[in-house]
Structure 1
Amino acid sequence: MKKSVEVCVHFVVIFLVFFYDYGYAFGQADTHLYPVRVDDKWGYIGKDGKIVIKPQYDDASDFSYGLARVLEGNLWGYIDLTGKKVIRSQYTKSEDFGPSNLARVSIQKFDFYIDKEGTFRGKQLNNVAPEGFSEGLIRDRKGSKWGYKNLADKTVIAYKYDWAGKFSGGFAPVKSDGKYGFIDLRGKEYGFLYDLAKGFMEGLAAVTVSDKLGFVDVRGKMVIEPQFDGIEGEGFKNGYAIVRVNEKYGFISRKGVLVISPQYTRAKSFSNGLAPVFFGTQITGRWGFVNEKGELVINAKSCLRSYRYEFSVH
Structure 2
Amino acid sequence: MKMKIFLALVIILFISCSSAQIEDFSDLIIVFNEGHKSVINTDGKIIIKDLEKRLKITLVKYNVDRQIQVVKIDGKQVLIDNQFNVLRDFNYDVIHETREGGLMGRIDKDGHAIKYDLYDKEGNFLYSSKDPIFDYNEGIVLMNYSNGPYEGKFTFIELETGKVIGNEGYYTANAFSEGLAYVYDYNGYSAYINHEGEEVINGWVCDVFADRRMSSTYFSEGLAPIRLGIFEGADKVGYINKKGEIVIPMNFVSDEPFSDGLVAIADKYNHFGYMDKEGNWVIEPQFTSAGKFKDGIAFVNTDGFTYGSVINLAGEMIWVGQKIPKRSY
- Tell me the TM-score normalized by structure 1: 0.73
| Alignment-derived partner of residue 127 in structure 1 | 131
1:120 maps to amino acid: F
Q: 1:49 to 1:260 in 2, by over 3 A?
A: same
Which structure's CA Rg is the greater one? 2
The corresponding residue for 1:58 is: 58
**Which residue in 2 is equivalent to 1:139?**
142
Q: Distance in 2 between matches of 1:115 and 1:285?
A: 35
Cα deviation per residue 1:244-299 (whole Å; 9 max; x = unaligned)?
12221111011111111221111111122222211222xx4454222222222222
Q: Distance in 1 between matches of 2:272 and 2:32?
A: 28
- What are the ranges of 5 or more consecutive residues in structure 1 without an aligned counterpart? 1-29, 306-314
- Letter paired with 2:283: I
Alignment equivalent of 1:157, drawn from 166, 189, 192? 166
Deviation at 1:300, TM superposition (A): 2.4
Note if 1:278 corresponds to 2:278. Answer: no
Q: Residues 109-258 of structure 1: matches in 2 within 5 Å?
A: 109-115=114-120, 118-122=123-127, 124-130=128-134, 132-141=135-144, 142-151=150-159, 153-176=162-185, 177-189=187-199, 190-193=201-204, 195=206, 196=211, 198-209=217-228, 210-211=233-234, 212-228=236-252, 230-231=253-254, 233=256, 235-245=257-267, 246-258=269-281
User: CA-to-partner distance for each residue in 1:218-263, whole Å, 9 max, x for gaps?
Assistant: 11111112211x2153x11121111112221111011111111221
Question: Deviation at 1:194?
Answer: 5.5
Which of 284, 288, 310 aligns to 1:289? It is: 310
Change (3 A) 1:40 1:294: closer
Contact conserved, 2:102 with 2:122, CA < 8 A, in 1?
no
1:38: Cα distance to partner? 8.2
More helix by share: 2
C-alpha change, 1:96 and 1:144, in structure 2 (3 Å) is: closer
Alignment partners' CA distance in 2, 1:216 and 1:266: 23
Equivalent position SS for 1:127: coil
Gaps of 5+ in 2: 1-24, 109-113, 145-149
Q: Which amino acid aligns with 1:185?
A: H
Cα separation, 2, equivalents of 1:285 and 1:40? 14
TM-score, normalised by the number of residues in structure 2: 0.70
Amino acid at match of 2:317: L
Does the aligned pair in 1 maintain the 2:32–2:321 contact within 8 Å?
A: no
Structure showing greater relative contact order (alpha-carbon pairs closer than 8 Å, 6 or more residues apart): 1
2:136 partner SS: strand
Match of 2:18 in 1: none
Residue in structure 1 matched with residue 85 of structure 2 by the alignment: 84
User: Which digits, 9 at most, give the CA deviation of each residue in 1:7-64, with x for residues without a partner?
Assistant: xxxxxxxxxxxxxxxxxxxxxxx75313467897768665453237734233341233
Could you tell me the percent identity over the aligned residues?
22
Residues in 1 aligned to 2:164 and 2:152: alpha-carbon distance in whole angstroms: 16
Whichever residue aligns with residue 302 of structure 2, its letter is F
Structure 1 residue 207: deviation in Å? 0.3
- Give aligned pairs, total: 269
Deviation at 1:119, TM superposition (A): 4.3
TM-fit CA distance, 1:125: 1.5
Deviations 1:96-139 (A, max 9, x none): 4653x6432235542212346654323x2122243x11111112
**Cα distance between partner residues in 1 of 2:301 and 2:320:** 10
CA contact (8 A) 2:265 2:272 kept: yes
Q: How large is the RMSD of aligned CA atoms in angstroms?
A: 3.1
Asked whether the 8 Å contact 2:68–2:102 carries over to 1, the reply is no
Q: Deviations over 1:129-187 (max 9, x none)?
A: 43x11111112232343221133644233324221111000101111222322111111
Q: Which amino acid aligns with 1:191?
A: N
Of 192-201 and 257-266, more deviation after overlay is shown by 192-201
- Cα distance change, pair 270–171 in 1 and its aligned pair in 2 (3 A): same
Tell me whether 1:32 sits opposite 2:27 in the alignment: yes
